[in-house]
């Protein structure tokens, strides 16, 4: 059964025309009287936050929505929750809805945690007897038992969002809207939050999930929509849509780098936007890190403990900053507290003067990380120098499953591929130089 249907939905805002109440309208009128010339020059411009979007959602489906900041993701949720109305098009929905969009909306700082549970529960549509029936579960989930009668103005930010999530997550709804809320709290609470979302999914709830955490999107969603500048550009299986999104992001990062370093890049250093030439003296960087499962398929999710993980790292080192004796290292850190769980490395004393464009690869065997969210970083140290290492941007890695009481620090068996400079036009990142 179809529970959500968007039919050619668009939402337009007038930039500079935000007069939503009497005070703003009076202020605008006064400014117009005394500054008519400037007011005429600043005519309100239309901004299409969502443009001609159509899709359907089946009952029990978990639909992910991804895209860059400003792509229209949150606007879709506001339209669906009727916080705002569409400029054109039609939206149909069925069933009781709960939204985990702005956690803690409606909380009063002077009231206690207990009082705010009743207040926020009422805002979310729960009746008093429903709140009373769920009260103990909410307090237990939020882990705030000793502080439940303390005014929440004395809560830490972590305590505040835990309480807000606990209330919203215990609304028995047919349709649940989730917008970037699984990043609240510490690592243990994030795992518990994701487990709660899975429980709601398994109980038949339809979930719309907006997130920038691609690992969580791939492991949690059954289908994903990709938004770009207000338009729906792709709908399909999570792995395929996430791959397309990451390709778009990679192009955006490359364009930003070229713009920021235009004066430093030699003529011809970039060929057809496909990569960086070995002779470029513009920068030194590990410009891309890719994760693959043991069979060589791209992934950001380790499907089971004990599986292999392949980490492939692409670098560009200018001749002016060549590395005397390189040490190649991979670090896997727990996202919640930065704990380095494993850090395999390799070095070849016979290899010296590393420069140019190339790649190195590590197959980490029998990965025994505890279920949690991690980040993977690549580093290149210079054995002959005390200068700072070349460090990549962190890449997310999710190990799904229920939390276990383990720190997860261990020394894995790692097989390294040779570090061979790649030709300029090389695109796929193989290490044999062919």
pLDDT at residue 432, rounded to an integer: 33
Mean pLDDT of 308-324: 86
pLDDT at residue 38, rounded to an integer: 52
pLDDT at residue 421, rounded to an integer: 45
Strand partners, 98: 176
pLDDT at residue 21, rounded to an integer: 58
SS3 call for 284: coil
* Residue 316, pLDDT above cutoff 90: no
Report the 10 Å Cβ neighbour count for 45. Answer: 10
Residue 61 tokens, joined = 């489906």
SS3 call for 221: coil
Residue 381 tokens, joined = 């140290």
Question: Could you give the CA distance from residue 415 to residue 187 in angstroms, rounded to a whole number?
Answer: 30
Give 2-7+53-242's CATH code, choosing from 3.40.50.300, 3.30.2130.10, 3.40.47.10, 3.40.50.720: 3.40.50.300
pLDDT at residue 272, rounded to an integer: 31
Per-residue pLDDT band at 33 (split at 50, 70, 90)? low
Tell me if 118 sits within 8 A of 112, measured CB to CB: no
Question: Could you give the CA distance from residue 283 to residue 265 in angstroms, rounded to a whole number?
Answer: 9
pLDDT at residue 228, rounded to an integer: 92
pLDDT at residue 214, rounded to an integer: 81
Strands 62-66 and 206-210: parallel
pLDDT at residue 368, rounded to an integer: 85
Q: Among 183-197, 243-257, 336-350, which range has the highest average pLDDT?
A: 336-350
* Residue 360, pLDDT above cutoff 50: yes
242 to 64, 97, 211, 235, 315: CA distances (angstroms):
10, 27, 11, 10, 23
Query: CB-hemisphere CA count at 13 Å for 236?
Result: 9
* Residue 278, pLDDT above cutoff 50: no
* Residue 352, pLDDT above cutoff 80: no
% pLDDT > 70, the chain: 74
pLDDT tens digits, 374-431: 899 998 888 777 677 888 888 999 888 766 655 556 667 777 775 544 433 333 333 3
Q: For the chain, which residues make up each domain, given as ranges?
A: 2-7+53-242, 277-421
Tell me if 198 sits within 8 A of 62, measured CB to CB: no
Helix (H) or strand (E) holding 267: none
Residue 378, φ and ψ in degrees, nearest 5:
-110, 145
pLDDT tens digits, 60-119: 899 999 998 889 998 998 898 888 899 999 999 988 787 776 655 668 889 999 998 998
CA-based nearest residue to 322, from 350, 357, 288, 289 = 357
* Residue 54, pLDDT above cutoff 90: yes
Q: Which is more confident, 17 or 29?
A: 29
Average pLDDT, the chain: 77
Q: Does the CA dihedral 191-193-197-202 come out positive or negative? A: positive
* Residue 37, pLDDT above cutoff 60: no
Q: What is the domain class of 277-421 according to CATH?
A: mainly beta
Residue 363, φ and ψ in degrees, nearest 5:
-100, 110
């Amino acid at each position: 059964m179809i529970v959500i249907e968007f039919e050619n939905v668009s939402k337009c805002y007038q930039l500079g025309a935000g007069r939503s109440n009497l005070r703003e309208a009076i202020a605008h009128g006064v400014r117009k009287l005394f500054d008519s010339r400037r007011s005429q020059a600043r005519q309100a411009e239309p901004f299409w936050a969502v443009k001609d979007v159509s899709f359907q959602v089946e009952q029990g489906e978990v639909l992910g929505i991804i895209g860059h900041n400003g792509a229209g993701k949150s606007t879709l949720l506001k339209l669906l929750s009727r916080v705002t109305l569409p400029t054109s098009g039609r939206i149909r929905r069925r069933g009781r809805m709960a939204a985990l969009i702005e956690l803690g909306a409606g909380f009063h700082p002077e009231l206690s945690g207990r009082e705010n549970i009743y207040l926020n529960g009422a805002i979310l549509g729960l009746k008093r007897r429903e709140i009373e029936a769920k009260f103990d579960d909410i307090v237990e989930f939020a882990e705030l038992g000793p502080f439940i009668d303390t005014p929440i103005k004395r809560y830490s930010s972590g305590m505040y969002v835990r309480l807000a999530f606990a209330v919203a997550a215990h609304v028995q709804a047919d349709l649940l809207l989730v917008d970037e809320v699984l990043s609240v709290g510490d690592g243990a609470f994030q795992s518990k939050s994701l487990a709660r979302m899975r429980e709601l999914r398994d109980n038949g709830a339809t979930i719309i999930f907006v997130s920038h955490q691609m690992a969580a999107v791939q492991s949690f969603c059954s289908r994903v929509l990709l938004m770009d500048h207000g338009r729906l550009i792709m709908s399909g299986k999570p792995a395929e849509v996430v791959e397309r999104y990451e390709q778009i992001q990679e192009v955006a990062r490359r364009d930003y780098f070229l713009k920021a370093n235009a004066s430093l890049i030699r003529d011809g250093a970039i060929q057809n936007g496909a990569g960086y030439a070995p002779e470029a003296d513009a920068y030194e960087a590990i410009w891309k890190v890719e994760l693959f499962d043991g069979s060589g398929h791209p992934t950001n999710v380790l499907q089971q403990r004990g599986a292999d993980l392949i980490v492939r790292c692409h670098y560009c080192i200018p001749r002016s900053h060549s590395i005397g004796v390189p040490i190649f290292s991979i670090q896997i850190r727990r996202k919640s507290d930065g704990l380095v769980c494993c850090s395999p490395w390799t070095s070849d004393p016979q290899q010296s003067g590393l420069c140019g464009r190339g790649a190195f690869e590590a197959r980490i065997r029998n990965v025994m990380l505890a279920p949690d969210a991690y980040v993977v970083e690549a580093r290149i140290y210079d054995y002959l120098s005390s200068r700072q290492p070349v460090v990549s941007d962190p890449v997310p890695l999710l190990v799904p499953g229920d939390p276990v009481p383990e720190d997860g620090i261990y020394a894995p068996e790692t097989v390294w591929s040779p570090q061979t400079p790649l030709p300029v036009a090389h695109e796929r990142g193989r290490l044999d130089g062919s």
